[in-house]
Amino acid sequence: MIDIQNQKDFRNIDIKKVGVKNIKYPIIVLDRARGTQPVNATINMYVNLPHHFKGTHMSRFVEVLNDFRGQINIKTFQIILEKMRQKLHAHSAHMEIEFPYFLKKVAPVSKAKSMMEYRCLFAGENNGEQTDFLVGVVVPVTTLCPCSKEISAFGAHNQRSIVTVKVRFKKFFWIEDLIKIVEDSASGEVYSLLKRVDEKFVTEKAYENPKFVEDLVRGVAVKLNSDNNFTWYSIEAENFESIHNHSAYAYVEKG
């Protein structure tokens, strides 16, 4: 059969990324408590395409996924990128994997147990000489406004906040540890299941621990700065304000 993709192209334009996007795919990721965790991931896979080739072979991306379906994690990501680069005869390969990650959470007073969802990201690129790889987490937390607490006779407005942290690192670490850094930097944690005694506890804890959105990102940055395993990071926080028709936002980046 004629291979159209391998035919010559004469427009003299290199393509930096070409591939497949939004592949829904079951994978297995490492879980500190249970060993592994099956998740349904959304995957983007790309390679570069030199100007003299007409197209790339899209089916080969999925073939690579099939080869590594049960072994996609922080430790094997670079191997997968190299396999993509070789299989598609490309100079560089890029992959992004987003997936839900579930942790068991225990309510602070009633000790009621539930599963909490966090969004996670693996992203990396391999150009044959070096590999760039980062891990990201999206963590919901609670913040309470210090200004509102200061000026109010009673009460203070609070909000649910979303914190997105991406890191580059030197050695393996657990996703759970990065999530805990974020939750410890907020006014309080978010839970899937709370009884009334728990609601009282988390509300009062937030009241005693007010945070601006600026405090939130700075608090995470201080903790990451104290660990020399993290060579780079970006931290962004969005507070979905309870008394304003807009969000409060802050972003910091190392370097």
pLDDT at 55 > cutoff 80: no
pLDDT of residue 162: 98
For the chain, the domain total comes to 2
Share of the chain above pLDDT 70, in %: 93
Highest mean pLDDT among 8-22, 25-39, 202-216: 202-216
Pick 18 or 185 by higher pLDDT.
185
Boundary-marking domain end, from 129, 149, 167: 129
Give me the half-sphere count of Cα atoms (radius 13 Å) on the Cβ side of residue 128: 10
Boundary-marking domain end, from 99, 129, 159: 129
pLDDT of residue 5: 59
pLDDT at 103 > cutoff 70: yes
pLDDT of residue 138: 98
Q: Are residues 125 and 144 in the same domain?
A: no
Best CA proximity match to 248, nearest among 158, 137, 168 = 158
**Residue 10's CATH number:** 3.10.270.10
What is the C-alpha to C-alpha distance for residues 18 and 39, in angstroms, rounded to an integer? Answer: 26
pLDDT of residue 240: 95
Q: Are residues 150 and 241 in the same domain?
A: yes
Q: Is residue 134 part of a domain?
A: no
Boundaries of domain holding 104 = 1-129
Which string of DSSP letters, residue by residue, matches 121-173? EEEEEE-SS-EEEEEEEEEEEEEE-HHHHHH-SS---EEEEEEEEEEEESS--
Q: Are residues 145 and 252 in the same domain?
A: yes
pLDDT at 4 > cutoff 60: no
What is the C-alpha to C-alpha distance for residues 195 and 52, in angstroms, rounded to an integer? Answer: 64
Q: Are residues 125 and 221 in the same domain?
A: no
pLDDT of residue 176: 96
Confidence of residue 99 (pLDDT cuts 50, 70, 90): very high
Contact 54, 9 (CB under 8 A): yes
Q: Is residue 241 part of a domain?
A: yes
Backbone angles phi, psi at 159, to 5 degrees: -155, 160
Pick 180 or 14 by higher pLDDT.
180
Q: Is residue 250 part of a domain?
A: yes
Q: Are residues 1 and 125 in the same domain?
A: yes
Q: Are residues 173 and 234 in the same domain?
A: yes
Q: Are residues 116 and 150 in the same domain?
A: no
Residue-wise pLDDT for 140-174, tens only, equals: 999 999 999 999 999 899 999 999 999 999 999 99
What is the C-alpha to C-alpha distance for residues 132 and 111, in angstroms, rounded to an integer? Answer: 41
Q: Are residues 125 and 225 in the same domain?
A: no
Confidence of residue 203 (pLDDT cuts 50, 70, 90): very high
Q: Is residue 54 part of a domain?
A: yes
Q: Are residues 95 and 8 in the same domain?
A: yes
Q: Are residues 160 and 84 in the same domain?
A: no
What is the C-alpha to C-alpha distance for residues 36 and 101, in angstroms, rounded to an integer? Answer: 11
CA–CA distance from 66 to each of 26, 59, 62, 184, 225 (Å)?
10, 11, 6, 38, 38
- Mean pLDDT over the full length of the chain: 91
Pick 217 or 66 by higher pLDDT.
217
Confidence of residue 28 (pLDDT cuts 50, 70, 90): confident
Best CA proximity match to 137, nearest among 185, 184, 100 = 100
Q: Is residue 90 part of a domain?
A: yes
Q: Is residue 101 part of a domain?
A: yes
For the chain, the maximum distance between any two Cα atoms, rounded to a whole number of angstroms, is 79
- Residue carrying structure tokens 């621990």: 209
pLDDT at 109 > cutoff 70: yes
According to DSSP, residue 8 is labeled: B
Of 48-52, 211-215, 242-246, where does mean pLDDT reach its minimum?
Answer: 48-52
Q: Are residues 179 and 155 in the same domain?
A: yes
pTM for the structure as a whole: 0.89
Q: What is the mean pLDDT of residues 206-211?
A: 96
Q: Are residues 82 and 159 in the same domain?
A: no
Boundary-marking domain end, from 109, 129, 149: 129
